[in-house]
Amino acid sequence: MLKLYDYPQCPFSQKTRIVLAEKQLDYEKIIVDLRKREQFDPSFLALNPFHKVPVLVEEEEGEENPTVIYDSTVIDEYLEDEYPEPALLPPPGDSAARSRIRQLEDYADIAFVLPAGNLLTEHVKREEERDVERLRRAKEEVDRAFLLLERELQGGRQFLGGDQFTLADAAFAPRLLLLMSRNVELPEGTRALRGYIDRLRQRESVRRLDGI
């Protein structure tokens, strides 16, 4: 039995929910309300000492000690190992392709999600209340990510893994689609990226997300 400790608006939780949906896995969702600081409850800290969602718990019938995994990247790799079909990484023999997807996922987590969040925070404010410098820096970093995605999607790739939807797509999708829903402009000439966004919107695992 799988349990996911989750917060609906957290992009890292959303990323893992996409992977669970892609693999058609049933799970129990347990909401950790970050606004009420429930991530600091002793019972949750026993699962993740870094007090962050998501956390995945897998309990096998008859076993006393469940498997507890935190950090969305580690969780998603665990799910890929334990439930390999459908695959969300290139084949094990193609180390270069697998490394590329892992690098893109890492870029999403480290260099895209935070500036996207900063941009969204300022974007929804009234113009006179915005931190103009913070908004400028965030938009520059987000545009850099947009252009990286445009390059990675060249050559007719449907997804970042070519025809294969991957862990990297799951990492980019939540914040990317939220930016689009808030009418954040894409750089000029990002034709491949625009098509990619349309395909993500149509993906069942992404359509099922709440919080975007």
Q: What is the DSSP letter of 35?
A: G
Domains, the chain: 2-82 (3.40.30.10), 95-207 (1.20.1050.10)
pLDDT, position 211: 56
Distance CA 156, CA 98 (A): 19
pLDDT, position 126: 86
User: What are 55's strand-pairing partners?
Assistant: 5, 70
By three-state DSSP, how is residue 102 classified?
helix
By three-state DSSP, how is residue 18 classified?
helix
- Helix axis angle, 113-123 to 11-22, nearest 10°: 120
55-58 and 2-6: which strand pairing?
A: antiparallel
Q: What is the mean pLDDT for each group of 10 consecutive residues in the chain (212 residues)?
A: 96 98 97 96 97 95 87 98 97 96 98 96 87 94 98 97 97 97 95 98 92 58
Distance CA 75, CA 143 (A): 28
What order do you get walking across the sheet with 55-58 strand by strand?
Answer: 28-31, 2-6, 55-58, 67-70
pLDDT, position 128: 84
